Amino acid sequence: MLIQNPREFYREVYQQPFAMPAFNVCNLEMAKAVIEAAVAERAPVIVQTYPGDLAHAAFGDDMGPLPLLIRAMAQAAPIPVFLHLDHGPGLAYNLRCLRAGYNSVMFDGHDLPLDEALLETAAIARAAHALDAAVEGELGTFGGAQGSQEYTNPEETPLMFEQGQVDMLAVSVGSEHGQSSRLDLELLTAINDKVHAPLVLHGGSGIHEDDVRAAIRLGVVKINIGAALSRAWCQGSREALEAGADHYGVLDRAMQRVHEVARHRLQLMGASGRA
């Protein structure tokens, strides 16, 4: 089911505590494999899309069919599903996704001065909250497409909740898009002590598993998983092609590998059995 109370759900996860992997998907088959993994684990799950994923499937300025396909699968699933926008670039884009049925969105304002980022985040939050959708803000950067990595300043974090009106905050404490990493747990502790509210980590594919467990105890409710799924998809496709499979075999093998990764991450983050 597409969850109807995402803001409350994130707060409940924070109180438990456990975390939900947020899986970046770029096609129907990846989304289906992730949701089937969550059903098998009886776990709530976040299925998220990056603007590039939507552009790849879109025609012209249309959002394309991917959100509709994910919503249809979510509504048929017997577990809670979030449809989340990852790294949404500004108010207009976030509004388009909210109109397309996303129940959770992220504003990526890393390139703005803090005061401007707070204003833009608050505008998105007002629109999202009017539709009972949740909002993720960001302080700091995570490398990869965002350029150099910049750690989060704990002193700024309360502003995102108080002025930006976010429901959860992505913080940079060592994880990096597409790279193996160890977290600065002292910094994460300082941030959690400042806000006592749901936190998010990006670059989750490469975070050491011991640090994942520690982060959950320090307020993290959402950990993004993108590179691990892409690698699993490519690995499965190569295996099937090398075995001489037809296109159905390629899709089946790629989905199997994604399914395996998704189940492991759900188990690791304590989401299994929480649905």
The residue segments making up the domain with residue 42 are 6-268
Is 273 contained in some domain? no
Residue 145's pLDDT is: 66
Considering the domain boundaries, does residue 274 fall inside one?
no
Identify whether 56 is part of a domain.
yes
* 31 is a domain residue: yes
User: Which pLDDT score is estimated for 62?
Assistant: 78
- Considering the domain boundaries, does residue 214 fall inside one? yes
Give residue 147's pLDDT: 66
Asked about 86 being catalytic, the answer comes back as yes
Structure token pair of residue 5: 């109370």
Which sign, positive or negative, has the C-alpha torsion 235, 240, 246, 252? negative
Give residues with Cβ within 8 angstroms of 93, minimum separation 6: 51, 85
How many angstroms separate the CA atoms of 130 and 165, rounded? 12
Cis omega (within 30 of 0) for bond into 67:
no
Within-domain flag for 89: yes
**Taking the model in full, what pTM does it have?**
0.96
Q: Residue 275 falls within a domain, yes or no?
A: no
Q: Which parts of the chain have pLDDT scores under 50?
A: none
Of 86, 108, 167, 211, the active-site residue reads: 86
Is residue 134 included in any domain, yes or no? yes
The CATH number of the domain where 93 resides is what?
3.20.20.70
Looking at the 3D structure of the chain, how many domains does it have? 1
Question: How many residues comprise the chain?
Answer: 275
